[in-house]
Amino acid sequence: MNIELAEYDAGWPGLYERERARVLGALPGAVLEHVGSTSVPGLCAKPLVDLMLVVDAPLREASYVPALEAAGYRVVVREDDWHEHRILKGPDTDINLHVFPRGCAQVRRHLLFRDWLRDNAWDRELYAAAKRELAARVWDRVQDYTDAKNAVVLDILERAYVARPVEPGEVEFVTEAPPHNAPVVLQEHDPVWARWYAVEEAKIRAALGERVVRLEHVGSTSVPGLAAKPLIDILLVVPDSADEGAYVPALVAAGYYLLLRERAWHEHRVLKGVAPNVNLHVFSPGCEELDRMLAFRDRLRAFPQDREEYERTKRELAGRTWERVQDYADAKTRVVERIILRALG
């Protein structure tokens, strides 16, 4: 199979606007973006317009597919296990309408890649050169060509994520310890950590009951074989993390205390447990950080080479002295982002 690339066509944005009007006619108020190579002026591309539609739950097709079908679209791809991703084809123009859930990390990934290429000529030319070289080969499937581009895409995205990080915003400490020199002591993975998590999980579920939307063991202690500080990180999803009255008093009664709030960063809350040492991270549903944390954990569990890369970084950084433990965590950002990007594919 040959891949046919076309020089950038100034008519592509017009094709997107026509599809946008059609989609919004079927789904008023929908979140829709032009993504992919045809969305980047000056970039060569297959003459296929990629659109990204964000809905609450792609698996609930009844909430959006019938309306799109009435407008002439049809579902051609369903990937339930990969971000609930759907692809629809349009009635006339050659397009891919990609559907992702609200809060999916793929949404920011697509937009960041697009915007970075629009603003950075060097990486735009690097990507174009890779596309041209790969398009000159013969492929069994278009997906094989897409997969072959992954190395240069990850290279570009890593630069974009580091240059344009999500700023967490102001941290409001409820219980604050003064900054101090904080040696970071890593331990070899201990199977007892999974048992500690199981005890905490039972405690949290007993305290909150049906208010628990999701509960997961995350962080390094959740990855067998990975050295870590003996700190159990727990991800708790509640209906509304900003509504502290709905969950904080019950968790305090269960032995936790509220450490901090990050109102501007996903309304994130952290509660602490002291025996064992626990960080309980609280978010609302549909938050990108949930997707990222779980993708990172699952990638480290499944790919030994990524686990080893992360552990090497942790050990090197743990050998230094830090003013705050958070500074150690921040120093790991680049390798964490790199692994998350691989996980998101």
Quick one: 99 and 219 in the same domain? no
5 within domain boundaries: no
Question: In the chain, how many domains are there?
Answer: 2
pLDDT of residue 1: 73
Amino acid residing at 74? R
Tokens standing for 46? Answer: 């297959």
73 within domain boundaries: yes
How wide is the angle at C-alpha 334 spanned by C-alphas 333 and 336, nearest 5°? 65
DSSP result, 38-53: GGSTT--B-S-EEEEE
pLDDT of residue 319: 79
3 within domain boundaries: no
Rounded CA separation 305/311 (Å): 10
Quick one: 246 and 316 in the same domain? yes
Q: Which of 165, 184, 201 is nearest to 292 (CA)?
A: 165
DSSP 105: H
Quick one: 109 and 224 in the same domain? no
Quick one: 273 and 329 in the same domain? yes
Those residues whose C-beta lies under 8 Å from the C-beta of residue 328, and which sit 6 or more positions away, are: 182, 184, 317, 318, 320, 322
Rounded CA separation 248/269 (Å): 10
Last residue of a domain, one of 99, 133, 163: 163
DSSP 280: E
Domain of 63, CATH number, reads 3.30.460.10
Torsion sign, CA atoms 241, 247, 251, 253: positive
**Positions of the chain with pLDDT under 50:** 178, 180
Amino acid residing at 19? E
Tokens standing for 339? Answer: 């692994």
Rounded CA separation 61/64 (Å): 6
DSSP 138: B
75 within domain boundaries: yes
**Is the peptide bond preceding residue 165 cis, with omega within 30 degrees of 0?**
no
Quick one: 104 and 193 in the same domain? no
Q: Compute CA 64 distance to the chain's CA centroid, rounded to the nearest angstrom.
A: 23
The per-residue pLDDT for range 280-312, each reduced to its tens digit, is 999 999 999 999 999 999 999 999 999 999 999
Torsion sign, CA atoms 169, 170, 176, 181: positive
Quick one: 181 and 330 in the same domain? yes
Quick one: 96 and 218 in the same domain? no
Give strand pairing partners of 269.
261, 282
Q: What is the edge-to-edge ordering of all strands in the sheet holding 85-89?
A: 31-35, 49-55, 95-101, 85-89, 74-79
Determine the 3-state secondary structure of 274 from DSSP.
strand
227 within domain boundaries: yes
152 within 8 A of 125, measured Cβ to Cβ: no
Pairing between β-strand 172-173 and β-strand 257-262 as defined by DSSP bridges: antiparallel
Quick one: 83 and 188 in the same domain? no
pLDDT of residue 182: 60
Between the CA of residue 39 and those of 32, 48, 79, 116, 152, what are the distances in Å?
13, 10, 24, 12, 18
pLDDT of residue 168: 67
Determine the 3-state secondary structure of 226 from DSSP.
coil
Q: What is the dihedral of CA 298, 302, 304, 305, to 10 degrees?
A: -70
Tokens standing for 195? Answer: 């048992």
Tokens 């964000």 — which residue?
54
Quick one: 121 and 180 in the same domain? no
Quick one: 116 and 20 in the same domain? yes
Quick one: 185 and 226 in the same domain? yes
Which domain, by its residues, includes 124? 12-163
Quick one: 71 and 198 in the same domain? no
271 within 8 A of 256, measured Cβ to Cβ: yes
